[in-house]
A and B are shown apart, each in its own frame.
Chain A
């Protein structure tokens, strides 16, 4: 399904602030698998995700989705296969557009956009049904500007939008990090449900070890732009946060200084 081979990305090469964000990062995700990705700040989590989505182009390496090489494809061309939910709730939706217009935009992801009306009556029914599953009353607010919604509501709608059109892989970029704990929990449950219902191949970057172990089937830890830990199945189900922490300290060879990883 997703295959990333030996990815290298260096920011500001040849300058004093040179940063080698990815150093031979490789990862294969089979179809239907839900992978969680953890790592401290600067480990390369976001860089890796942005490389898959096409927001960053890799210096060397190869990215293939469904066997097709997408390494040099721009973001919009990859969108046919890649759905994405951003960390910032404001980033994943167009605040000037209405809820139904945002959803229509997502419904047309990967299709040829022509001169037909953007929001069709039949679609509206689908949108209403999907929104009703959130239990937030948004199904009655189709023509409200999405900018009027709270961050959590917008993130929930973003998740629905990601599943409106079939995609080969869903990328979640710390998509609960900007939400309060209760809303974050709600969005996480919703994520698990949508991924299960649509049997989506998913890669979720998270800052929380708890989250990383609670959802999905496989957990990958990044450090200095490489995969340093890759657990799944029985081995993973026996793991708890302290174990993960221990492994983490072992690979780093130092005490963990990043509190953010412990929270949540």
Chain B
């Protein structure tokens, strides 16, 4: 693999580590199986690309995309908490709705960003190649997001969100408004995913309606890979594990797709991801069975 494709894999890995952090919040901290991300990732891309291509400052566009993601998460949470729709179904409804909403926002299946300014062109230092500058800037963003998450989930409010996911009945008995905590957690989770979508659109030359397909599985794969590389229940380590998981996962995907002898093509990406997640989910069960038999 060339340095160029290696940096490309790191770049995408870093973007998807933001998705993975979002998925970590919903699946692990809140225990809310949230498929909204398949819609909020392209939502972030769509909002950002449309705003930039109509002349909005890329900083504002990225922030607006993030806020749009938070809104999508809020609605999924609201469907579940207030309308009592099952969590998984609520998120599927939102995901489907977002497909139409994203098409409306973009006014078509895609919005290209070819010669428009982006966060990356604005912040690229003189004399640094763009394929180096992009991962460097993304690394700064990802570390900032990780530290912000570590801080937030150690605050009183953050602890209340974690308690809600771990034992909602106990949390309520301790005076936690668990419904509000689900809404807040879902908003933060999908804001991160939409931020990733906005950054993805700015590095990949535009937003596309199909860019969200399989986002949830890739995010979940990153979380699972990270947890098996660095198993820890402490939040500070868990968030780091998730980021490493996303990068390692993208690295191996790039490796597999670049190795001619395996014969995989880019279109096999989602199949490979699905197989990998299945294997990662089954391994702990097999381990448990084996250790039970030994006893």
- B-binding residues in A (CB < 8 A): 53, 55, 74-77, 79-80, 82, 84, 86, 91-97, 101, 104-106, 108-111, 113-119, 145, 161
| Contact of A76 with B175 at beta-carbon distance under 8 Å, contacts A118-B154, A145-B233 already known | yes
17 interchain pairs (CB within 8 A)? A53-B173, A74-B177, A76-B171, A79-B176, A84-B173, A86-B173, A92-B173, A94-B170, A104-B159, A105-B163, A105-B176, A108-B160, A110-B175, A113-B157, A117-B156, A118-B154, A118-B159
Q: Report how far A165 CA is from B155 CA in the complex, Å.
A: 19
| Closest beta carbon of chain B to A246's beta carbon, Å | 37
Closest 5 CB pairs of A and B: A79-B175, A118-B159, A113-B156, A94-B166, A75-B172
Whether a CB of chain A sits under 8 angstroms from the CB of B178 is yes
* Smallest Cβ-Cβ distance to A83: which chain B residue: B173
| Contact of A118 with B174 at beta-carbon distance under 8 Å, contacts A96-B166, A105-B160, A113-B160 already known | no
Whether a CB of chain A sits under 8 angstroms from the CB of B169 is yes
Q: Report how far A114 CA is from B157 CA in the complex, Å.
A: 5
| Closest beta carbon of chain A to B130's beta carbon, Å | 37
Residues of A within 8 A of B250 (CB): none
A116 touches which one: B155, B171, B174 (CB < 8 A)? B155
Whether a CB of chain A sits under 8 angstroms from the CB of B278 is no
* Smallest Cβ-Cβ distance to A96: which chain B residue: B166
| Closest beta carbon of chain A to B251's beta carbon, Å | 30
* Most chain A beta-carbon neighbours within 10 Å: one of B152, B156, B172: B156
Whether a CB of chain A sits under 8 angstroms from the CB of B167 is yes
Q: Is the CB of A108 within 8 A of B162?
A: no
Please classify the interface of chain B as helix (H, G, I), strand (E, B), loop, or mixed, using the class held by over half of its residues.
Answer: helix
Whether a CB of chain A sits under 8 angstroms from the CB of B158 is yes
Q: Is the CB of B167 within 8 A of A76?
A: no
* Smallest Cβ-Cβ distance to A108: which chain B residue: B156
| Contact of A115 with B155 at beta-carbon distance under 8 Å, contacts A95-B166, A96-B166, A105-B160 already known | yes
Q: Is the CB of B163 within 8 A of A114?
A: no
| Contact of A97 with B162 at beta-carbon distance under 8 Å, contacts A76-B172, A91-B169 already known | yes
Residues of B within 8 A of A91 (CB): 167, 169-170
| Closest beta carbon of chain A to B141's beta carbon, Å | 22
Residues of B within 8 A of A79 (CB): 172-176
* Smallest Cβ-Cβ distance to A171: which chain B residue: B173
| Closest beta carbon of chain B to A76's beta carbon, Å | 5
Q: Is the CB of B163 within 8 A of A94?
A: yes
| Contact of A97 with B163 at beta-carbon distance under 8 Å, contacts A76-B177, A115-B155, A116-B156 already known | yes
* Smallest Cβ-Cβ distance to A82: which chain B residue: B173
Residues of A within 8 A of B169 (CB): 55, 86, 91
* Smallest Cβ-Cβ distance to A90: which chain B residue: B167
Residues of B within 8 A of A108 (CB): 156, 160, 174-175
Q: Is the CB of A106 within 8 A of B174?
A: yes
Tell me the residues in window 143-167 of chain B with beta carbons closer than 8 Å to chain A beta carbons: 152, 154-160, 162-163, 165-167
| Contact of A118 with B155 at beta-carbon distance under 8 Å, contacts A95-B167, A105-B171 already known | yes
| Closest beta carbon of chain A to B68's beta carbon, Å | 24
Q: Report how far A119 CA is from B153 CA in the complex, Å.
A: 11
Q: Report how far A251 CA is from B65 CA in the complex, Å.
A: 68
Residues of B within 8 A of A111 (CB): 175
* Smallest Cβ-Cβ distance to B162: which chain A residue: A97
Q: Is the CB of A93 within 8 A of B167?
A: yes
Q: Is the CB of B175 within 8 A of A114?
A: no
Q: Report how far A115 CA is from B156 CA in the complex, Å.
A: 6
Residues of B within 8 A of A75 (CB): 172-173
Q: Is the CB of A109 within 8 A of B167?
A: no
Known: A53-B173, A101-B159, A118-B154. 7 other contacts (CB 8 A): A97-B166, A108-B174, A111-B175, A117-B154, A118-B155, A118-B156, A145-B233
B233 touches which one: A53, A55, A96, A109 (CB < 8 A)? A96
Residues of B within 8 A of A113 (CB): 156-157, 159-160, 176
| Closest beta carbon of chain B to A221's beta carbon, Å | 26
Q: Report how far A161 CA is from B169 CA in the complex, Å.
A: 15
Q: Report how far A109 CA is from B177 CA in the complex, Å.
A: 11
Residues of A within 8 A of B170 (CB): 86, 91-94
Q: Report how far A97 CA is from B171 CA in the complex, Å.
A: 12
Tell me the residues in window 53-72 of chain B with beta carbons closer than 8 Å to chain A beta carbons: none
| Closest beta carbon of chain B to A124's beta carbon, Å | 14
Residues of A within 8 A of B162 (CB): 94, 96-97, 101
| Closest beta carbon of chain B to A203's beta carbon, Å | 15
Residues of B within 8 A of A115 (CB): 152, 155-157
Q: Is the CB of A118 within 8 A of B158?
A: yes
Q: Report how far A106 CA is from B154 CA in the complex, Å.
A: 15
Residues of A within 8 A of B173 (CB): 53, 75, 79, 82, 84, 86, 92
Q: Report how far A95 CA is from B156 CA in the complex, Å.
A: 18
Q: Report how far A144 CA is from B166 CA in the complex, Å.
A: 16
| Contact of A94 with B167 at beta-carbon distance under 8 Å, contacts A113-B157, A118-B159 already known | yes
Residues of A within 8 A of B171 (CB): 76, 94, 105
A117 touches which one: B155, B167, B233 (CB < 8 A)? B155
Could you give, for residues 71-85 of chain B, a 1 whenever the CB lies within 8 Å of some chain A CB and a 0 otherwise?
Answer: 000000000000000
